[in-house]
């Protein structure tokens, strides 16, 4: 009985000792796995992508609708501060941190008064340009009926595909 008790205590104590070192071991395993050839890590994009060009279009006095048109829907609207919109963007390329950006837009009433974060607005005004390229779409040409369509038509089932 004593041998069983000693064995049980030794087993439990080794579990406690190894439990503390597993985080270091896990970290070493992750680093090793990252360096293996042929292991693919995907790019992870999270949040609202905000560029310097977008920030340059913002002007003091713009209303919330205009700001939302330029920057998109904010990622976070603080319920305690309705006049503050937060935009976050996080890009991890291949599992490694690449880009982390934050922009905070502050309104007074319905008008833009301040911009804080990773970007600074420029003094020169460049209006937003919209790509208005015209594309000609060719006319749809009727194709010959296939064997299945001919068989269905012979049975009395009409299949009329519309685009």
Each residue of 95-149: pLDDT tens digit?
677 888 899 999 998 899 999 988 887 776 666 566 678 778 888 777 777 788 8
Residue 163: predicted pLDDT? 46
- Considering the domain architecture, whether residues 51 and 24 belong to the same structural domain is answered as no
Q: Are 85 and 67 in contact (CB under 8 A)?
A: yes
Each residue of 18-27: pLDDT tens digit?
666 567 777 7
- Considering the domain architecture, whether residues 25 and 101 belong to the same structural domain is answered as no
What are the start-end ranges of the H helices in 35-125?
52-56, 64-71
Residue 140: inside a domain, yes or no?
no
Residue 133: left if φ>0, alpha if ψ -120 to 50, beta else—which one? Answer: beta
Q: Which residue has the tokens 């904010």?
A: 74
- Enter the pTM of the model: 0.54
Residue 102: inside a domain, yes or no?
yes
- Considering the domain architecture, whether residues 2 and 44 belong to the same structural domain is answered as no
- Considering the domain architecture, whether residues 33 and 49 belong to the same structural domain is answered as no
| Dihedral angle, C-alpha 17, 21, 22, 26, nearest 10 ° | -170
- Considering the domain architecture, whether residues 24 and 76 belong to the same structural domain is answered as no
- Considering the domain architecture, whether residues 82 and 120 belong to the same structural domain is answered as yes
Residue 155: inside a domain, yes or no?
no
Looking at the DSSP assignment, which residues form a beta bridge with residue 96?
Answer: 93
Query: Which structural domain, as residue segments, surrounds residue 28?
Result: 1-38
C-alpha neighbours within 13 Å on the C-beta side of residue 71: 32
């Amino acid at each position: 009985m004593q041998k069983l008790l000693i064995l049980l205590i030794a087993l439990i104590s080794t579990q406690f000792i190894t439990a503390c070192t597993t985080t270091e071991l896990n970290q070493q395993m992750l680093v090793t796995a990252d360096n293996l050839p042929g292991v693919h890590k995907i790019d992870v994009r999270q949040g609202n992508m905000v560029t310097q060009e977008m920030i340059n279009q913002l002007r003091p006095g713009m209303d919330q609708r205009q700001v939302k048109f330029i920057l998109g829907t904010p990622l976070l609207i603080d319920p305690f501060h309705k006049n503050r919109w937060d935009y976050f963007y996080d890009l991890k390329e291949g599992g490694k941190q690449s880009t982390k950006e934050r922009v905070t837009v502050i309104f007074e009433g319905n008008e833009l008064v301040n911009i804080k974060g990773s970007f600074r607005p420029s003094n020169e005004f460049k209006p937003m340009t919209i790509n208005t390229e015209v594309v000609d779409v060719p006319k749809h040409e009727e194709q010959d009926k296939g064997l299945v369509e001919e068989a269905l038509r012979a049975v009395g089932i009409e299949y009329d595909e519309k685009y």
